[in-house]
Amino acid sequence: MSNIEDFVALPDILAPALRVVFCGINPGVEAATCGHHFLGRGNRFWPVLHEAGFTPHRLVPGEDRDVLAYGIGLTTAVARPTHSAAQLRQEEFAASAAALLDKLARYRPQCIAFLGKAAYLGITGQRDAAWGAQDQPLGPSRVWLLPNPSGLNRTFSRQQLVDAYSALNRSLSLRR
């Protein structure tokens, strides 16, 4: 069996001038191995993305590159895959911040939506933040903080996720 460090990083799905880039904490081992975002069993990202109005039909992980057609990109705060985000160290977030800022400067998305507080707080070094729109941009992009859709995060129901993601989608539509 290979070590996690042996896995190739999950490739970003990015293009210039996207409406939003969804930024997960880090890839799961299975996602990195298969090369598709939000692959984990029970991950609610794809159904929530559709139900919140970002896509006209529900995509599956194997169709993750199709998000570009809808003005959406995908990346992670930390590239290293793990079995659980709890395995990440604070130093990894700090070390990844410059790479994320470089991506934002290069691709200039209208908004970056962090999926979970761990990614946002780890990258920015802040101690706490409220859900939703943030006051300070990150590079050229507005920032939103959304609950993580992982199946391991049962603090938020699917409907609460849809409501939060829908609010972001409405805010992007208002700024076109």
**Cα 72 to chain centroid, rounded:** 10
50 is catalytic: no
Of the candidates 26, 36, 43, 148, the residue annotated as catalytic is 26
Radius of gyration of the chain (CA): 15
Of the candidates 3, 36, 37, 169, the residue annotated as catalytic is 37
Q: Nearest CA to 34 among 43, 158, 94, 128?
A: 43
Q: If you write DSSP's letter for every residue of 100-123 in order, what string do you get?
A: HHHHHHHH--SEEEEESHHHHHHH
Q: Which residues are catalytic?
A: 26, 37
